Amino acid sequence: MTDIKPPMEPFRIKMVEPLHATSRRERETLLKQSGFNVFGIPAEKVTIDLLTDSGTSAMSDDQWAGLMTGDESYAGARNFFHLEEAVRSIFGFSHVIPTHQGRAAERVLFGSIVKKGDSVPSNIHFDTTRANIEVLEARAEDLAAAAAYDPDAELPFKGDMDLAKLKKFIDRKGAGKVPLVMLTVTNNSGGGQPVSLKNIKETSEVCAHYGIPFFLDACRFAENAWFIKKREKAYAKKSVLEIAQEMFSYADGATMSGKKDALVNIGGFVTLDDDALAERIKNNLIISEGFPTYGGLAGRDLEAMARGLKEVLDEDYLEHRTAQVAYLGGLVAKAGVPVFKPFGGHAVYLLADRFLPHIRRAQYPGWALTVALYREYGIRAVEIGGVMFGQKTGKGKAEVFPELELVRLAIPRRVYTASHLRYVADAIIDLHMNRDKVRGLRIVRESPFLRHFTARLEEL
Ligand SMILES: *Cc1c(COP(=O)(O)O)cnc(C)c1O
């Protein structure tokens, strides 16, 4: 049974920021203005913002102090060397190339290694990862084990790659058409589920067999390492740092959004050993991100990221972080709200198609749920379903929807207390009891890539 005691925050608060109350009428107007897209709502008009855990962390006093030590030299700032040291000590790769955020790391990596017609497998690609591959006219292939798509399978490592599928896929495409294999830890688009060390090692062995580089999408490496410690027997007595080091020891490199497990508001990097590839990435980086020792960031940002990478491995922090997710998830599940199980590292995922069974997939039940959560309670969540991942296979053809129709309630790191989460749980339970009133939507305007950010919709 889920423990639904509120988890005690392992920090005290020394700076506060007011929450904003809005009226239902104001929210209704804002929804109309934004094209029923919560990405278009001004943040000050949101009471509890669970849109994302990306870049929304509260920094520690030590990180804020670090900002003041920013060395804003153009080349070779001391903070770069601090970051390099922090990354090397955890990830273990020789090249550390900062970028302004994770997708920039993806872009410079893929732009240096992926060609038109190639395929890049992963367990499940995150949306920006997929977009950065597709924009090069290559294919992003999701090869997670079947359990990843089963919201009821209470398995410890639902982020695992399906190794049989991976081998078959590489055999079919030919290793020459697969420039790299990725693995997302934890698997954000698949419910924030962890990948086992066993699976990381075995994926690495498959890649080595075919001579294909293996990269981790490491955004939530610390949360993944924590779950390995808790769920994979052989690792119960290892520190989270040792587990993270072992995870990376099987890879050839990693992309990272510092906005997740580096506890910063902006930043990212790509790290790897291959000298020739690192050279190409740096050349790519200079075109859009900047000189290789700052990569689109200020010296102070590099310092905050270096410090955050060490803080995130604190086991009291990780214990509380995952307990917060389990607390919110446990409260709503206990009241009969359909949720993705087990609870992952950074978010609770509602099963929108079960929550709103009267709304067809073509009318975007997940999206409808995000609209209702904002309209009724001022809570902002994100749809990870038909609008984010639906694909039209050709002109006039019907839309193909992803397996899962989810609404993600991402919990920003160190930002909300247990009573905030209690408010969210009560709101969701209330909405579930009044679910019949929620209406589906249709898209009236969209862009070809990452359409969920800017799409405009109307209610049916
Ligand atoms: C957030 C995220 C990214 C992209 O990082 P940004 O900093 O948002 O550009 C890539 N992969 C995963 C798994 C992520 O969660």
User: What confidence tens digit (pLDDT) does each residue in 370-426 have?
Assistant: 999 999 999 999 999 999 988 877 667 788 998 889 999 999 999 999 999 999 999
Question: Considering only CA atoms, which of 91, 127, 85, 92 is closest in space to residue 106?
Answer: 127
- More confident call, 328 vs 20: 328
152-196 per-position pLDDT tens digit: 999 999 999 999 999 999 999 999 999 999 999 999 888 899 999
Cα of 28 vs centre of ligand 1, distance in Å, is: 30
Are 115 and 257 in the same domain?
yes
* Cα of 347 from ligand 1 centre, angstroms: 14
Measured in angstroms, how far is the CA atom of residue 126 from the centroid of ligand 1? 7
Name the residue of 54, 185, 266 whose CB sits within 8 Å of the most ligand 1 atoms, as the mutation to test its pocket. 54
Residue 363 lies in a domain: yes
- The predicted pLDDT at position 449 comes to 78
Lookup result for tokens 């990452």? 450
Region 430-440 average pLDDT: 97
- Which residue, among 83, 59, 60, has the nearest Cα to 71 in the 3D structure? 83
**pLDDT band per the 50, 70, 90 thresholds, residue 20:** confident
Instruction: Please report which confidence band the pLDDT of residue 224 belongs to, taking 50, 70 and 90 as the band edges.
Output: very high
Picking from 269, 290, 311, the residue at the C-terminal end of a domain is 311
257: CA distance to ligand 1 center in Å? Answer: 5
pLDDT at 226 over 70: yes
What does the pLDDT average to over 208-228?
A: 98
Question: Does residue 6 belong to any structural domain of this protein?
Answer: no
Q: Are residues 246 and 174 in the same domain?
A: yes
pLDDT for 70-116, tens place per residue? 999 999 999 999 999 999 999 999 999 999 999 999 999 999 999 99
SS (H, E, C) the chain: CCCCCCCCCCCCCCCCCCCCCCCHHHHHHHHHHCCCCHHHCCHHHCCEECCCCCCCCCCCHHHHHHHCCCCCCCCCCHHHHHHHHHHHHHHCCCEEEEECCHHHHHHHHHHHHCCCCCEEEECCCCHHHHHHHHCCCCEEEECECHHHHCCCCCCCCCCCECHHHHHHHHHHHCHHHCCCEEEECCEHHHCCECCCHHHHHHHHHHHHHHCCCEEEECCCHHHHHHHHHHHCHHHCCCCHHHHHHHHHHCCCEEEEECCCCCCCCCCEEEEECCHHHHHHHHHHHHHHCCCCCCCCCCHHHHHHHHHHHHHCCCHHHHHHHHHHHHHHHHHHHHCCCCECCCCCCCEEEEEHHHHCCCCCHHHCHHHHHHHHHHHHHCEECEEECHHHHCEECCCCCCEECCCCCEEEEECCCCCCCHHHHHHHHHHHHHHHHCHHHCCCEEEEECCCCCHHHCCEEEEC
Ligand 1 binding pocket mutation candidate from 257, 269, 411 (most atoms within 8 A of CB): 257
* Residue 44 pLDDT > 50: yes
**Atom 11 in ligand 1: which residue has the minimum CA distance?**
126
Looking at the domain assignment, is residue 8 inside a domain? no
Atom of ligand 1 nearest to the CA of 54: 1
pLDDT value at residue 403 = 87
CATH number at residue 374: 3.90.1150.10
Q: Where does ligand 1 bind, in terms of residues with CB under 6 Å?
A: 54, 101-103, 126, 128-129, 184, 188, 217, 219, 257, 259-260, 268
Residue 383 lies in a domain: yes
Write phi, then psi, for 106 (nearest 5 degrees). -65, -45
Measured on CA atoms in the order 57, 60, 62, 65, is the torsion positive or negative? positive
* Distance from residue 259's CA to the centre of ligand 1 (Å): 8
Query: How many angstroms separate the alpha carbon of residue 49 from the centre of ligand 1?
Result: 18
pLDDT in tens, 285-339: 999 999 999 999 999 999 999 999 999 999 999 999 999 999 999 999 999 999 9
- Do 69 and 154 have their domain in common? yes
Task: Quote the pLDDT of residue 1.
Answer: 45
Q: Are residues 372 and 437 in the same domain?
A: yes
Residue 15 in any domain: the answer is no
Ligand 1 atom at minimal distance to the Cα of residue 188: 13
221 C-alpha to center of ligand 1: Å?
12
270/330 same-domain check: no
Give the phi and the psi of residue 165 in degrees, each rounded to 5: -65, -40
Q: What's the number of domains the chain is made of?
A: 2
Give pTM, 2 decimals: 0.94
Domain contains 186: yes
Check pLDDT > 70 for residue 357.
yes
Phi, psi angle pair for 181, to nearest 5°: -115, 135
Q: Are residues 386 and 346 in the same domain?
A: yes
14 found inside a domain: no
Distance CA 346, CA 400 (A): 28
Nearest CA to ligand 1 atom 5: 102
Q: Verify that 124 and 234 share a domain, yes or no.
A: yes
CA distances from 266 to 35, 48, 177, 298 (A): 28, 21, 33, 10
Spacing, Cα 102 to ligand 1 middle (Å): 5
- Angle of CA points 426, 348, 334, to nearest 5°: 50
Q: How far apart are CA 246 and CA 216, in angstroms?
A: 12
Residues 101, 30 share a domain: no
Residues 95 and 216 placed together within one structural domain of the fold: yes
Q: Which atom of ligand 1 is nearest to the CA of 103?
A: 9
- 268 CA distance to ligand 1 centroid (A)? 9
Can you tell me the mean pLDDT for 348-359? 97
Pocket test for ligand 1, best of 51, 133, 219, 413 (most atoms within 8 A of CB): 219
Write down the pLDDT at residue 242.
98
pLDDT tens digits along 104-150: 999 999 999 999 999 999 999 998 999 999 999 999 999 999 999 99
Residues 263 and 129 in one domain: yes
- Cα 195 from chain centroid? 14
- Report the residue among 107, 126, 189, 449 best suited for mutation to probe ligand 1: largest number of ligand atoms under 8 A from its CB: 126
Token pair listed for 347: 């978010």
Query: Is the domain of 133 the same as that of 34?
Result: no
Final residue in a domain of this structure, among 289, 311, 333: 311
The residue from 281, 311, 341 where one domain ends is: 311
CATH value at residue 212 = 3.40.640.10
Structural contact between residues 325 and 348, judged by C-beta atoms closer than 8 angstroms: yes
Q: Which residue carries 């679910």 as its tokens? A: 435
Q: Whole domain around residue 34: which residue ranges? A: 24-53+314-459
For residue 314, the cross-strand partners are: none
Nearest-angstrom CA–CA distance, 351 and 355:
6
For residue 7, tell me if it sits in a domain: no
Q: Name 189's Cβ contacts closer than 8 Å, sequence gap at least 6.
A: 124, 125, 126, 127, 384, 389
Same domain, 291 and 423: no
CA 162 to ligand 1 center in whole angstroms: 22
In this structure, which residue's CA is closest to atom 8 in ligand 1? 102
**Per-residue pLDDT, 3:** 57
Nearest 5°: phi and psi at 184? -95, 120
